Amino acid sequence: MCIGVDTSESHDALAEADACSLAEVAIRQGFEPPTLLLGSAATRTRVRTQLSQAAATCEPGDLFMLTFSGHGGEGGVWLLYDGSLRDAEMRAALAAFRPGVRVLVISDSCNGGVPAARPDTSLSEVGASVLVLAACSSDQLADAPGTPTHFTTALLETWHRDSIVTYRGFYQMIAAGMPEHQQPNYFQVGLRDPQFESQPPFTI
């Protein structure tokens, strides 16, 4: 599922374009055609319903990819079309996925994205294995000067340019091409799956 929400002040639909670009990556990698929720379609109800349906459908060994491009807030918040989706709500949605399911979250928003990085991940109620690539840390903004959606741009350029072995290697290559004031983050939520982490990105 790929979500893109631009604000009414945006002159260009950059976040929505990023969501479409990430959906294209998923299709090229052999995923089922992703659900695209853009602009007014990205409501709290639709996002939560789609997550619930994905959790009910995914079997152990499956890979579910979830991306968000748009504005975020402190404490782990995605600003959807009609309100916020918070860290606690996302963790509740992720907790519905079965153990053995792999979930890849790409969060291009300010303040570290959703789900948020926490020191207590070992105590998480999430039974699936979730890897998160976030646009920045919890105390940073996801906007390079004059270049909104900088993270997704760097991610896509790295994906198309380099031979990538693991998710951590992918993150390190992306981080190397981004400025100090916006360094991406990489962390795990739920059950740790070393095999998942060692796979090339977007491997089904």
* pLDDT tens column, 14-35: 889 999 999 999 999 999 999 9
Q: Tell the residue number behind the tokens 């999430």, with chain if given.
A: 126
Structure tokens at 27: 């299709």
Calculate the alpha carbon distances from 120 to 22, 25, 91, 106, 117 in Å.
30, 32, 13, 20, 9
- The pLDDT value given to residue 125: 87
Contact (Cβ atoms closer than 8 angstroms) between residue 167 and residue 199: yes
Token readout for 159 is 């994906």
- The share of the chain scoring above pLDDT 90, in percent, equals 68
Non-local CB neighbours of 117 within 8 Å, separated by 6+ positions: 132, 134, 137, 138, 185, 187
* In the block, residue with structure tokens 């995914």: 58
The confidence score (pLDDT) of residue 75 equals 86
Residue (of 58, 23, 57) closest to 38 by Cα position: 23
Angle of helix 44-57 versus helix 87-94 axis, rounded to 10 = 20
CA distance 138 to 186: 12
3-state secondary structure of 54: helix
Which residues on neighbouring strands pair with residue 4, listed in sequence order? Answer: 38, 69
**60: pLDDT strictly greater than 80:** yes
**pLDDT computed for residue 96 by the predictor:** 97
What residue type is 100 in one-letter code? G
C-alpha separations of 97 from 38, 45, 55, 64, 140 in Å = 24, 18, 5, 10, 30
pLDDT band at residue 146 using 50, 70 and 90 as cut-offs: very low
pLDDT in tens, 73-92: 888 899 999 999 999 999 99
What is the value of pTM for the model shown?
0.92
